[in-house]
Amino acid sequence: IALLTSIMQITRNLTTEGLRMNRKVSKAIFPVAGLGTRFLPATKSVPKEIMTLVDRPLIQYAIDEARAAGIEDFIFVTARGKSALEDYFDVSPDLEAALESSGKNDLLEILRSTNMESGAVAYMRQHKALGLGHAVLCARKLIGDEPFAVILPDDVIAAEKPCLQQMVEAYQETGGAMVATMEVSPAKASSYGVLDIRSQNGPIVSVKGMVEKPPLGTAPSNLAVIGRYILTPQVLANFDQVGRGAGGEIQLTDAIAAEVTAGRDVFGYRFEGQRYDCGSKAGFLQATVAFALARPDLRDEFAAFLTEMHSVKQAAQ
Ligand code: G1P
């Protein structure tokens, strides 16, 4: 009996270990092909993802979050006019040498922390703007047979534990496909993918359907999809059956919803943290203020300025 018990224990350990291995998420796709028309004229020559929150480009926040979650391979789905992004991830030997010789070690360290390992970054071009689903599908060949993450850099999430890391940890327990989710007002639901909820257990929401940009008043819940995903290669295979969806585009939401139809698990994860919609001007400004106030080197001066602005505005009313 003792022998049998230990064999069973070993088998259980191996199965758990096997599951962990299968659930290792080491690749992330960053869809960055969008034209960023909402930020024209800035985006005429600067990719939206290079626009800065305080002094870091949007894309750097996404990279830092991915790294914290254990991502090792970074796949950017880009488009014409986005070469500044590729340059951003290249090393800058001249700049590094100049900073080194002038003894600006703190700046040198900041610069070096943005360097990516050789071979860790891949670029795919999306030749036609056919939607988010299509952008993700462009990276299919680089994904192979492993689960992978998708990060939309427009959704910036300030959190003690980075959002993707929270999800990767939850995913070790759940498997399936997982999307970040948060509550939005009914008036805003039609700007998002929205979850149809089966049941909830703490932060984990079991999903029985997903609708991309439901017309006003038809959303199945107030839980919206936010731009962090952990997906299986099967989701990419679903695109073979998924046609064009909301807005005439190939939607990622539809390929994930097809998992539910096929009887496989899909989960929402109610992350802890504050999300900023940096795809909109108001959201970008809110993030700028919040991130500046969180910076020890700027906080006091900036807070004093905001207080002054506020009192000037009140006095004028
Ligand atoms: C995309 C997704 C949508 C999701 C949103 C989150 O929409 O298609 O499901 O809710 O990101 O930001 P987009 O903002 O690109 O229209």
Tell me the per-residue pLDDT of 2-42, one tens digit each, with 9 for 90 and over: 777 777 776 666 555 555 558 899 999 999 998 888 889 98
Q: Is the CB of 148 under 6 A from ligand 1?
A: no
**What residue's CA is closest to ligand 1, atom 9?**
193
pLDDT at position 21, please? 57
Q: 190: closest CA among 210, 214, 211?
A: 214
In this structure, are residues 136 and 251 in contact, taking their beta carbons and an 8 Å threshold?
A: no
- Rounded-to-integer distance, Cα 26 and Cα 69, Å: 9
- Mean pLDDT of all residues in 187-201: 96
**What residue's CA is closest to ligand 1, atom 10?**
192
Cα 161 to middle of ligand 1, angstroms: 23
- The least confident of 17-31, 40-54, 152-166 is 17-31
Q: Is the CB of 192 under 6 A from ligand 1?
A: yes
- Rounded-to-integer distance, Cα 125 and Cα 138, Å: 8
Pocket test for ligand 1, best of 222, 225, 242, 251 (most atoms within 8 A of CB): 225
Cis bond before residue 214 (omega within 30° of 0): no
In this structure, are residues 33 and 43 in contact, taking their beta carbons and an 8 Å threshold?
A: no
- The least confident of 96-105, 162-171, 219-228, 267-276 is 96-105
Which ligand 1 atom minimizes the distance to the CA of 225? Answer: 10
- Rounded-to-integer distance, Cα 252 and Cα 238, Å: 10
And the tokens for 16?
């758990």
Q: Is the CB of 224 under 6 A from ligand 1?
A: yes
Q: Is the CB of 152 under 6 A from ligand 1?
A: yes
Residues in the chain: 317
Q: How confident is the model at residue 69 (pLDDT cuts 50, 70, 90)?
A: very high
pLDDT at position 87, please? 85
